[in-house]
Amino acid sequence: MLTLAVVFVLCVALYLYGTRTFTYWEKKGIKHDKPLPFFGNNSRMYFWKKSMTQIGVEMYWKYPKEKVVGFYRAMRPELVVRDPEIIKRILVSDFGHFHMRGINTHKTVIEPITKNLFFADGDIWKLLRQNMTPAFTSGKLKAMFPLIVERAERMQNHAINAPPTGRVLDSRELMARYTTDFIGACGFGLDMDSLSEENSAFRKLGIDIFKVELSQIIKQMLKEIFPEACKHFRIFGKIENDMNALVKTILQKRNYEPCGRNDFVDLLLECKKKVKMVGQSIETVKSNGMPEVVSFELTDELIMAQIFIFFGAGFETSSSSTSYTLHELAYHPEEQRKVQEEIDRVLAKYDNKLCYDAVSEMTYLHCAFKEGIRIFPSLGHLVRQCARKYTFPELDLTIDEGVSILIPVQALHTDPLYFEEPEKFKPSRFLTDFINPMTKNIYLPFGEGPRLCIGGRLGLMQSLAGMAAVLSRYSVEPAPQTVRHPRVDPTSNAVQGVIGGLPLMFKLRTK
């Protein structure tokens, strides 16, 4: 009898623990789905049924009249934001309250690999951003362009090598190999040779970064449900080991000193030589209201984390965007012809050579790319976290420090309220400014505000050049195994992926 009583008490205690935050949105009068103990509204992500982007889309359309919708990620309250003005306030106007991504589940125990520019919060993020911005100036991007051309030509001549009768290739994999080689060359001074080598070690590393293992999902779920008890769980242990080996190779090749290439690694080594990076705090202020001055040292651990995100994000987002745009062009041959006619016309001005100025003039190609990432943005949702108590004036809603924000980019990009015939692939919509001024706040393929993607222009440049190289020589068509509307991979919670890749028929053009 005593045993049953103990079990009953334990069950009640567990239930109360697993539901202790679930009155948060109800008390504030915010509509939300009923959460499950421990899992909140996030059980389908934990069990690989839907990605976070897919869940965000679902919540967006389920409550069409609401400006915001309540959500529980495990037991942590989260706010799904549907309103453009509120989105602008979070990302730009009131950024000081929402400068945190809040992806790390614990404030002090953070995996080394996640101390990077994308995941980091607070002062570490601010000083990293401040010191890395010089790597992405227009002049440096232009200086990198010959490296892009070299990889683009290698892709044309060797990786595709399709006859007039055609050759089926997975465009997702093809573009991933191209972007992997470019990131290796421009960022690290390495010839990764993914386009020539079927079993390239660097391509394998790229695949491993975004391959989700069951053990990782379980650890992430436990860290979100029991953040204190599971704070020492390592989700990225294997990748961290691989990245440490890669970084050691890169740094040894340069004798741990800048070598004059002025690339990403040189920038990091220059920062390391400063002993400490110094700047104004985004987290703490003096009694007079002025920001405190903060500093920290760029350790080898932090260098590894920055190289990880530059490598991973640099190739994966661009390959996702370019391959999906090619997929849409394959199903819209009339749009593909417009793009190819422009490419031919512009290249003729430049002796049929790809160069920075030529790609800059390819306006319709740019429009097609923008439309591709409108329909299928690589980052299908943005996340932020409230850094201190904040009130939304139009809602009379106050949220507390630690409440997460989810901006459902995928849903916003396909809302007919902002885009006429959103289901249609219409590059021409980007030839003029949008009629609806709010569209600016909801077209967010690279984010917005101070945490706007630092490598956005670099990604755009390599993407346009890659597509120009492909379409100047080849046409793309649906292959027998191509799926018109590919299924989103529910495990792809960082960069959106699709099940089965994006196979296309590549045919040599006859001009």
CA distance 315 to 335: 26
Q: How far, in Å, CA of 220 to CA of 105, rounded?
A: 9
Q: Is 453 flagged in the annotation as binding? A: yes
Number of Cβ atoms within 10 Å of the Cβ of 216: 18
One-letter amino acid identity for 134? P
Q: Which two tokens stand for residue 354?
A: 């790809």
CA distance 458 to 502: 23
Answer yes or no: are the C-beta atoms of 28 and 397 closer than 8 Å.
yes
CB 98 within 8 A of CB 121: no
Integer Cα distance of 125 and 118 in angstroms: 8
**Cα–Cα dist 373/496, whole Å:** 11
258 Cβ partners below 8 Å, 6+ apart? 266, 269, 270, 273
Cα–Cα distance measured from residue 378 to residue 495, given in angstroms and rounded to the nearest whole number: 5
Six token digits for residue 471: 């379409």
Identity of residue 16: L
The residues, ordered by sequence, that sit 6+ positions from 27 with a Cβ below 8 Å of its Cβ are none
How many C-beta neighbours within 10 Å does residue 265 have? 25
Strand partners, 100: 385
Tokens (6 digits) for 385: 């976290």
DSSP string, 361-375: T-HHHHHHHHHHHHH
Q: DSSP string covering 1-57, please?
A: -HHHHHHHHHHHHHHHHHTTTTTHHHHTT--BPPPBTTTBT-HHHHTTSS-HHHHHH
Here the tokens at position 241 are 């080991």
What residues form the annotated binding site? 453
What residues form the annotated binding site for heme? 453
